[in-house]
Amino acid sequence: MFGIYVHIPYCLQRCSYCDFATFVYDQILPPQDYVNLLLRELAAKSHLAPQKELTSIYFGGGTPSLLEPNLIVSILDAIAKNDFIISPKTEITLEINPATLYTEKILALIAAGVNRFSVGAQTFDEDLLRLAGRKHSAQDTFDTLALLQKQNVNYSFDLLFALPEQGRARLANDLKIISDLKPPHLSAYCLTVPNGHPMSKNRALDDEQASMFNDIENALLNIGLHRYEISNFSRPQYESQHNLLYWRQKPYLSLGLSAHSYLAHLSPWGERFWNPSTVEGYADFVQQLTPENALNVHHQKNLGERLSESAALFDYAHTALRLAEGFSFENVPAFSPALTEALTDRLNALVKSRLLETKNNSWILTEQGRLISNLVFERLLLDN
């Protein structure tokens, strides 16, 4: 399994709660210039891939649907020209903002090979959309989903909850709409903002937030979507193939501003490397890349890490624990007995604290563990 991620940093607006590397579309370099950088980066790095057959391609951001389809086509063409194999089984996802899509654009993207759309719906509550600073309306989302359903194309949408002034009763309106829409896949995110942020006031307390998540899970179960990851729900066989690469520690090559790659075959315990997160830094960085020096440039600029054995084991464990299937030593390479024992001790201590449970030789988050998953993961950290 192997996938390519392409970061598109343009957005219609800059949402105050977002910490992705994104910019309002007319405030940075023109999209064609950015795509030229992406293609140059691809040419310099394609030889690093462990295989040519692609499980997935994911256009994320940002708002990739702001780009004209011909630019998406040029990126897909370049991927194919670098000898990658895009087969009918390759999942090609593009994130879209409901205010940026119209029929011709969807048809052009589908013709280019995009076979899955991830819709940034967030909520169907007009007041909450405005409060979150979103430019799209609930009607824009309905129109976009109707377009996708008419084309019979796979899609997912994001649901943001625990927004200011939103309690269980108000969330119930969104869940009623979702139950009628019956999407194949949904990602549910609890709003995360630091104290003092304008959106940190008048929010549901922790207990109510937990109840809201249970309401979401129950509503989705009723329409046949099971929770397969902490925040992700799908019909059987509709799990995001690209995101599964991340959670199962499979390799991926990522292109674009601030994009992170993971390639297991480059050193004994794998390598992670990432790109600069400023536009100027990224442009300058890409100009220096050649196929001969690509990895070295990352390391020279402290933009890469050769994983130690303990870091690799920790990564396998905490990403697998995000999944409903949990973590099992059966699904990872052989680690040293000392590290295996150290991790087993930590996992079993978390079972005693009722934050994990065991099933079929796997450790799985309990409901309590899921609510404080970041703390659970911290407790798995192994000494180097």
CB 258, min distance to ligand SF4, A: 12
State CA 317 to chain mean position distance.
18
Give whichever of 62 and 369 is closer to ligand SF4, judged by the CB atom: 62
Total residue length of the chain: 384
Rounded to whole angstroms, how far apart are CA atoms 187 and 60?
14
- The DSSP code sequence of 294-306 is HHHHHHHTT-EEE
Q: Which residues of 306-332 are buried (b: 16+ CB within 10 A; e: fewer)?
A: ebebbbbbbbbbbbbbbbebbbbbeeb
Rounded to whole angstroms, how far apart are CA atoms 276 and 303?
8
Q: Is the peptide bond preceding residue 62 cis, with omega within 30 degrees of 0?
A: yes
Give whichever of 75 and 199 is closer to ligand SF4, judged by the CB atom: 199
Give whichever of 219 and 257 is closer to ligand SF4, judged by the CB atom: 257
Give whichever of 12 and 342 is closer to ligand SF4, judged by the CB atom: 12
Contact 287, 359 (CB under 8 A): no
- Give the containing element (helix H, strand E) for 156: strand 154-161
Give whichever of 120 and 184 is closer to ligand SF4, judged by the CB atom: 120
Give whichever of 155 and 335 is closer to ligand SF4, judged by the CB atom: 155
Give whichever of 61 and 276 is closer to ligand SF4, judged by the CB atom: 61
DSSP secondary structure code for residue 332 in this structure: S
Binding site for ligand SF4 (CB under 6 A): 11, 14-15, 18, 20, 22, 61-63, 97, 120
Give whichever of 141 and 249 is closer to ligand SF4, judged by the CB atom: 141
DSSP secondary structure code for residue 65 in this structure: G
CB 357, min distance to ligand SF4, A: 34
Could you tell me the two tokens for 152? Answer: 């019979």
> Could you give the count of Cα atoms lying within 13 Å of 349 in the half-sphere of its Cβ?
10
Could you tell me the two tokens for 339? Answer: 């590290």
Rounded to whole angstroms, how far apart are CA atoms 259 and 255?
6
CA distances from 272 to 2, 188, 264, 307 (A): 15, 27, 8, 7
CB 61, min distance to ligand SF4, A: 6
CB 153, min distance to ligand SF4, A: 21
Contact 68, 13 (CB under 8 A): no
Q: Are strands 91-96 and 56-61 parallel, antiparallel or unpaired?
A: parallel
CB 115, min distance to ligand SF4, A: 22
DSSP secondary structure code for residue 254 in this structure: E
CB 359, min distance to ligand SF4, A: 35
CB 157, min distance to ligand SF4, A: 13
Give whichever of 50 and 198 is closer to ligand SF4, judged by the CB atom: 198
CB 13, min distance to ligand SF4, A: 6
Q: Which residue has the tokens 């407790």?
A: 379
Give whichever of 133 and 167 is closer to ligand SF4, judged by the CB atom: 133
CB 256, min distance to ligand SF4, A: 13
Q: Which residue has the tokens 């520690």?
A: 249
- Three-state DSSP class for residue 220: helix
CB 191, min distance to ligand SF4, A: 11
